[in-house]
Amino acid sequence: MKLVVLISGRGSNLQAILDAQLPVEIAAVISNRPDAAGLDLARARGIPALPLDHKQYASREAFDNALIEVIDRYQPELVVLAGYLRILGDSFVMHYAGRLMNIHPSLLPSFPGLDTHARALAEGVKIHGCTVHFVTPMLDHGPIIVQAAVAVHSNDTAATLAARVLAAEHRVYPKAIAWFAQGRLLLLDNGQVNLRDDSGSEQTLFISGSLP
């Protein structure tokens, strides 16, 4: 299975996906920020690393169309957003319906958007985590594939909590991609996602991290 990964920054999720040595071909890594450190990770592995600077385009639509054109050169079965920090327009999202995956650093539907860790701390939640989901036009609301939970500690700062969540992200994102590649993710009529196991039965997915 071929996939294209979109990034904007340091690329630690990309690194986790690469390190997992999944039976997939990462055909290209594209960043809307030309200086993204993640591009170097791809280059180091001989993967085409393509900067596509959104600032060079007059509108979101023009940029999205250019992005579609570059992605589709590789004909990927799956497009993976790994720390891609730019909103994608509806027509982009619909173009990749059912094959566009994102990871978000909260237990959705809590804390969509930015600054999730600081907001979780401000609310006093005791469990936080991350969510892998299919992308739909409504930001951070697509069908949930898998979630991983971590405990919130009383002395956490946004930075310490972010680090704990990031470690969970690195565990679940490669798994979700592997399940997709194996054809094991079932998108149900009610918009929910189940995992088919070897015996053909289905299960929902929840991974608990370091609960005390």
Active site positions, annotated: 104
* Beta carbon nearer to ligand GRF, 73 or 206: 206
Q: Is 106 in the site for ligand GRF (CB under 6 A)?
A: no
The CB-nearest residue to ligand GRF is 83
Contact stretch for ligand GRF (CB under 6 A) within 3-11, 42-50, 69-77, 132-140: 3-11
- Compute the least distance from the CB of residue 198 to ligand GRF, in Å: 29
Q: Tell me whether residue 183 is exposed, middle or buried, using C-beta atoms within 10 angstroms of its C-beta: 0 to 12, 13 to 18, 19 or more.
A: exposed
Answer yes or no whether residue 209 interacts with ligand GRF by CB under 6 A. no
Q: Does 163 bind ligand GRF (CB under 6 A)?
A: no
Residue from 6, 63, 105, 152 binding ligand GRF (CB under 6 A): 105
Non-local (6+) Cβ contacts of 21 within 8 A are none
Sign of CA dihedral 83, 84, 87, 93: negative
* β-bridge partners, 143: none
Annotated binding residues for (6R)-10-formyltetrahydrofolate:
60, 85-88, 102
Residue 12 binds to ligand GRF (criterion: CB under 6 A): yes
Q: How far is the CB of 111 from ligand GRF (least distance, A)?
A: 11
**Is the previous residue joined to 109 through a cis bond, with omega within 30 degrees of 0?**
yes
| Contact stretch for ligand GRF (CB under 6 A) within 10-18, 56-64, 142-150, 187-195 | 10-18
Strand locations in 38-176 (E): 49-51, 78-81, 100-104, 127-134, 144-151
CB of 162 to ligand GRF, least distance (A): 7
CB-wise, 92 or 196, nearer to ligand GRF?
92
Whole-angstrom distance, CA of residue 142 vs CA of residue 72: 22
211 token code pair: 């609960």
Let me know if 46 is exposed, middle or buried by CB neighbors in 10 A (0-12, 13-18, 19+): exposed
Q: Measured from the CB atom, is 10 or 153 closer to ligand GRF?
A: 10
Measured from the CB of residue 148, what is the shortest distance to ligand GRF in angstroms?
A: 11
Q: Report yes or no: 93 and 125 within 8 Å, Cβ to Cβ.
A: no
Strand partners, 130: 148
* Sites of contact with ligand GRF (CB under 6 A): 7, 9-13, 38, 82-83, 103-105, 166, 169
